[in-house]
Structure 1
Amino acid sequence: MDKVGGFKGIMNNSSRAIAQQRDSTRMRCKQSASSMQGMRELSRNSAIQAALQKGISEVCPKRMHSGKPKADTKRFHHGCRSLNLFQVHLEKNPVEKIKKEYAGISSCVLAFSGGKDSVLVASLLQKAGIKLTTATLDFGQEADFPAIRKLALRHSKKHCLVDGKGQLLANCHRGIKANCVAEGYLQATSFSTSVLASSLVDIARKGGIQAIAHGFSGVGNDQIRFENAVYALAPEKVVLAPIRDFNIKHEVVSGVNESFWAREIKHAGGSVPPGAFKLVKNKGGKPAKVQIFFENGMPTELYVMKGSRVGDTFGRGELIPALNKIAGAAGMGKFDIIVDKVIGLKQRELHEAPAAQVLVAAHRELESLILTSNEQHVKNEIDHTWNKLVYEGFWYSRLRLALDSFIDEIERSIDGSVTYEMACGGLNLVERKSHHALYDQRLSSTGAEGMFNQKDARYFIKLYGLENTLAFRRDLD
C-alpha cells in the first residue's frame, strides 16, 4: 500500500507539473502575440527614439548608460538644460498627427538647447517634413556650443548661435531696480525667456519663416512667457509646442535652466541628488567681504576686500558672474521652495542665485537709506505689480513699460555703496552710504551733539492726533 500510494503521489505531481508547463506555454504564446502587436505599434516611434538617444549619446557619451542609472550618472548636463535619461512616452503615429495638426506649416525656427526635449521636437518636426532652423541662446551657461550645433544640424538646415548675454544683463538690471522677488523667490528665467522669444522672432522675420517652436511642457510658466512674448512681438507668427500639444511625457520630471544670473533646478521630490547645486557650497567655508556700488539703482562695480584694502575689482559686465562665485563659496543663494505656477499647479524647485540674493539685498538697503517713507510705500506696491506681470509672462506689455518709467524716475537718486561680510550662508551688513541719504545721525541722536530739538515733537504729536482725538471723544459723548 505504501508503494502504491507513493507511486500515485509521484504520478499526481508529474501531472501537475505537465499542466503547469502547458499553461505556461500558452501564456507565453499569448504574450508573444501581444508583444508582436505592441512592437508593430511602437515601430513607428522607434526611429525617433533611436535618433533621440543617438544624438544625446554623441553630445554626452560619458554619461550614457543602459538599464537602471547609477547614482552618479542619473543626469547629463548640457546647454541650458539637464534632463534625466528616461524613456519618452510618445502617442501612436506622432509624425502623422503632427502633419495633420500643423498642416500648412512649411518652415519653422526652434529654440534648441541640446537637451532631450529640444532634440525630440527637432526630430519630430523634421520627420513631419517641416523645413527647420534651430537657434541656441548663449546666456553665459556652461555648454559645448560646437557639439550643440553638430547635433542641431542633424535635424535642421541651419543653426544659429545668438549671444543673449547683453540683453539678459539689461533685463537683470531692470529686475534689480524692481527688487525682483515673485512667489517668494528671485526671478531668473522670466528675464531670459523674453530674450529667447525676441531672438527667435528676429530670426523668423529675417528668414521669412512661418512658425516659431519650443520644447517647453504644458506644466510650467516658460510656455506662457515665451508664447506671450511671441504674440506681442509677432502676432502673425504661429507658435508650435509639440511636447504640450501631443502630450509627450517623461517618467521623471527634472531639469535645469541656467544662465550667468542664476540656476533653476526643477525637482520632482525626495532628497536633493548629490551634485545638484553647483554655485553654492553647502558648508560655506570661504568667508568674504565685498563692497557693491550702485548708480541709478543698478550695480556698477564690485570690490572684493582684503582686510582694510581693496583686492580684486569687477565692472558692470563681469560683476554678476564674479559675485556668484564669491557669494556661492560663502554659502549664499540656495533656495528649496514650492512654487505656484500660473496655470494653478504647484511645483518644487531648487534655486541657486548667490549674486541675485546679495544684489537685491544691497539695493533694498540703499532704498531704505535714500527714499522717503511715502516713496518707499508706493515703490513697494509698484515692485509687487511689476514682478507679478513679469512672472506671469507679460514682459512685453504696456503696463510693464509704464511701471518702468516710474521706477526709472524714483531710482535716479539710488546711488551709493553697500558693504557686506558673508560666511556660512549669512549676510552681515557692515556699511551703507550715499550722498543722497536722508538718514543723518546728528538729527537722530538725542546726545549732546544732536541737532534735533526734542521739544518740537510735543506740538507735532498734538496736531497729528487732533482728528482722532475729536472723533473718539465725539463717540464717547
Structure 2
Amino acid sequence: MSLTTRSSLPSGGSRRPSFHTRSKGRSSSIVSARAAGKSGPVKKVVLAYSGGLDTSIILKWLQDEYNCEVVTFTADLGQGEEVEPARAKAEAMGCKEIFVDDLREEFVRDYVFPMFRGNALYEGTYLLGTSIARPLISKRQIEIANMVGADAVSHGATGKGNDQIRFELGYYALKPDIKVIAPWREWDLHSRSSMVAYADKAGIPVPEAKRGDASAYSRDANLLHISHEGNQLEDPWWEPEEDMWTRTVSWYDAPDEPTELVITFDKGDPVAINGEDMKPHEILTKLNEVGGANGVGRLDIVESRYVGMKSRGAYETPGGTVLFHARRALESICLDRGEMHMKDEMSAQYSELIYNGFWFSPDREMMQAAIDKCSESVKGDVRLKLYKGNVIITGRRSPNSLFDEKLSTFEDDEGLYDQSDAGGFIKLNALRLRTLNRVRGGH
C-alpha cells in the first residue's frame, strides 16, 4: 500500500525570490521561447524532487526560467534517509502542491521481485539497483501530473547518464504527449561552482561538502542498493577507500562466525526468512541488514552506458546478492534443463532492456510473461551461510524438485536407468562429427 501525503501553502504563502541567473546578452525573447516549450507554454510541471542541492536548484530554475507552477514529488524507496524534510524545503520555495509517497512495498513487490525472477545481471555483474527504480518514479510522476493537471514533468538526471533515458522513456510510454524538461540539457550551470553560486544567490542552503574542491561522491540509494560514482572513482585504477562504503562492513571486519539463514520461496519470490513470513520490503530490509553485516554485496565495475561511454561505479547490494544466489540454488532443482537454459539466454537481453530504460516496452513484458510462467514451480527452501562477503549455499529442498536420488545415485538404481543406452545416444550425437572428419579430414 502506498502512503501519499500532500501539502498546500495558504494563498498568502511566501513566493519564490525573483533572482535570475542568465548569461550576459541573453534576451528576454529567448527565455520566453524556452518557457513556451516546443508545443505551447508550460503552466505546471511535476518535478522528481529529492530535496537535495541539485533538485532544489532545479526547482528554483524551473520557477525562474519557465515562470510556471512547480509540483514536487518525493519518493520513499527505502533510501535510508528521511524524505519529510523535502516537504519543508519545497514549501519554503513557494510550492503549493507537494507529494511525499512511501513506495517501498510497491517498489519491491512490483519491480524488484519481478526483475529478480529473471536473474537479471547487466554485463554479467550489475544487479540493476538504480535502473529498476526509475520506471516506478516515472509512473508515479505521470499519475501525479494527471491528477493535478500538469502539462510537463521534470527530472534531475544529467545529459551524460542513463537516467535521463530511463525517466523519459517511462514518461513517453505512459503519456506520449507529455512535455519533458531536462534542466541539465538546457541550462548554463555547467560546473559545481556555478551551481553553488546560483544556490547562494537564491538562498538555497549549500552543504560544505558541495563547496570548493570538496567533491563528494554522486550517490543513488534505494531499498535494493546504493551506488557510488564520481570523485576518485573516475580513475579506474584507484582502489576505493573503506569510508566510501556505507551499507556493508569490510570483509576483514565481518564476523568470524557465519550467519545461517533459510529463505522460503513461492512462485519464485521470497516469502519467509527462518520460518517467519514477511512482506516483500521487510524481507529485503532484513537481508540488507544481515548481508551488510557480513560484508556481502560489494561490487566495483566499469559498465557500458547506453549513451556510449564507459562509467565506473561501486555498488552495495547486500540483500539482492543473497536473493540472487538463493533463487538460483532453488531453480537448480525446480526447473527443467530446457527452462533453465532458455531463461539464461533471455536474461542478458532482459537485463539490457531494463538497464536501457525499456521497462514499459512490449518486448520486456513478453519476456516477463515467460519468466513468470517459468517461476510458478520455483517453490521451497534454500539454506545458506553468509561469511566474510560470501554467500555459501548449503542446502535446497522443494516439493517440486526434479532431483531424483534413485536416478542420480552411484549405487544400484533398481533398473531405472540402463547405462548401455548411453552408447547409442553418444553415437547419434557424434554422427555429424564423424561425417565431418571423413569429408574434411581430421583437425
What TM bracket, shorter-length normalisation? Answer: 0.7 to 0.9
Shift in alpha-carbon separation, 1:110–1:99, aligned structure 2, 3 A? farther
Superposition deviation, residue 259 in structure 1: 1.1
Q: Summarize the alignment of residues 173-252 of structure 1 with structure 2, pairs less than 5 Å apart.
A: 173-183=113-123, 184-251=125-192, 252=215
Shift in alpha-carbon separation, 1:123–1:271, aligned structure 2, 3 A? farther
Q: Summarize the alignment of residues 347-366 of structure 1 with structure 2, pairs less than 5 Å apart.
A: 347-366=311-330
Q: Distance in 2 between matches of 1:95 and 1:272?
A: 46
Superposition deviation, residue 99 in structure 1: 4.3
Q: Summarize the alignment of residues 53-64 of structure 1 with structure 2, pairs less than 5 Å apart.
A: none
Q: Distance in 2 between matches of 1:95 and 1:405?
A: 53
Answering whether residue 320 of structure 2 is matched by residue 379 of structure 1, we say no
Q: Deviations over 1:350-405 (max 9, x none)?
A: 11101111111111122222222222221112111111111001111111111111
Q: Deviations over 1:231-277 (max 9, x none)?
A: 11111110001122225334447321111111112233245355332
Q: TM-score, normalised by structure 2?
A: 0.81
Structure 1 unaligned segments of length 5 or more: list them: 1-44, 50-89, 304-309
Residue number in structure 2 paired with 1:287: 258
Residue number in structure 1 paired with 2:89: 151
Answering whether residue 365 of structure 2 is matched by residue 414 of structure 1, we say no
Answering whether residue 265 of structure 2 is matched by residue 302 of structure 1, we say no
- Which amino acid is the alignment partner of residue 135 of structure 2? S
Superposition deviation, residue 207 in structure 1: 1.1
Q: Is the 8 A contact 1:419 1:429 kept in 2?
A: yes
Residue number in structure 1 paired with 2:42: 105
Among candidates 349, 353, 357, match of residue 393 of structure 1? 357
Superposition deviation, residue 427 in structure 1: 1.7
- Which amino acid is the alignment partner of residue 292 of structure 1? I
Answering whether residue 417 of structure 2 is matched by residue 452 of structure 1, we say yes
Residue number in structure 2 paired with 1:10: none
Answering whether residue 104 of structure 2 is matched by residue 136 of structure 1, we say no
Q: Summarize the alignment of residues 5-154 of structure 1 with structure 2, pairs less than 5 Å apart.
A: 47=19, 98-103=31-36, 104-128=41-65, 129-154=67-92
What is the aligned-residue RMSD (CA, Å)?
Answer: 2.5
Q: Is the 8 A contact 1:262 1:352 kept in 2?
A: yes
Answering whether residue 203 of structure 2 is matched by residue 263 of structure 1, we say no
Q: Distance in 2 between matches of 1:424 and 1:476?
A: 53
Q: Distance in 2 between matches of 1:383 and 1:414?
A: 17
- Which amino acid is the alignment partner of residue 116 of structure 2? I
Residue number in structure 1 paired with 2:244: 276
Shift in alpha-carbon separation, 1:226–1:100, aligned structure 2, 3 A? same
Shift in alpha-carbon separation, 1:465–1:410, aligned structure 2, 3 A? same
Residue number in structure 1 paired with 2:10: none
Residue number in structure 1 paired with 2:14: none
Fraction of identical pairs, as percent: 28
Q: Which has the higher contact order (CA 8 A, sep 6+)?
A: 2
Q: TM-score, normalised by structure 1?
A: 0.75
Aligned residues: 386
Q: Is the 8 A contact 2:105 2:280 kept in 1?
A: no
Shift in alpha-carbon separation, 1:120–1:373, aligned structure 2, 3 A? same
3-state SS in 2 of match to 1:318: helix
Q: Distance in 2 between matches of 1:127 and 1:342?
A: 32
Q: Deviations over 1:275-317 (max 9, x none)?
A: 33221111222631111111111111111xxxxxx6x664434
3-state SS in 1 of match to 2:244: coil
Residue number in structure 2 paired with 1:443: 407
Q: Is the 8 A contact 2:287 2:319 kept in 1?
A: yes
Q: Distance in 2 between matches of 1:143 and 1:443?
A: 53
Which of the two has greater helix per residue?
A: 1
Q: Distance in 1 between matches of 2:143 and 2:279?
A: 30
Shift in alpha-carbon separation, 1:359–1:93, aligned structure 2, 3 A? farther
Structure 2 unaligned segments of length 5 or more: list them: 1-16, 193-214, 233-237
Shift in alpha-carbon separation, 1:167–1:91, aligned structure 2, 3 A? farther
Superposition deviation, residue 94 in structure 1: 8.5
Q: Is the 8 A contact 2:46 2:144 kept in 1?
A: yes
Q: Is the 8 A contact 1:109 1:213 kept in 2?
A: yes
Residue number in structure 2 paired with 1:321: 285
Shift in alpha-carbon separation, 1:453–1:391, aligned structure 2, 3 A? same
